[in-house]
Amino acid sequence: QVQLVESGGGLVQAGGSLRLSCAASGRTFSTLAMGWFRQAPGKEREFVAAISWIGGVTYSADSVKGRFTISRDNAKNTLYLQIDSLKPEDTAAYYCAAVAYGFGSRAPRDYDYWGQGTQVTVSS
């Protein structure tokens, strides 16, 4: 069983930056494909970015390209999401997700493990 714990969310002004972290345990982290998703009130969970388990291939949603950067540190069992140039529409709960030996899917259904989420609120 994989446990995921997100941190780093908060209240920030538009144009600001945050770095979200997701600490993983329960399985060899390097064998996990990881993803970030977000969900705003009243909306469906939305793909943000993902990274494959091998090769570190990354994928990002068009809405965040150039502003969000996903990365991983296998030595620290941690996934990151660097968020720059924040906009009010980025306000949401951000979740990390994991699946063993995945390629970095955009679909929530392809992930087996989820964290509890961290809230990001962007003020205008």
Instruction: Give residue 117's region: left, alpha or beta (phi > 0; psi -120 to 50).
Output: left
**Residue type, position 5, single letter:** V
Name residues whose C-beta falls within 8 Å of residue 39's C-beta, 6 or more positions apart in sequence: 45, 46, 92, 93, 95, 117
Whether 12 and 18 have beta carbons less than 8 Å apart is answered as yes
Residue tagged 């939305």 (tokens): 46
Strand partners, 89: none
pLDDT tens sequence for the chain (124 residues): 999 999 999 999 999 999 999 999 999 999 999 999 999 999 999 999 999 998 889 999 999 999 999 999 999 999 999 999 999 999 999 999 999 998 889 999 999 999 999 999 999 9
Residue tagged 């140039």 (tokens): 85
DSSP symbol at 56:
T
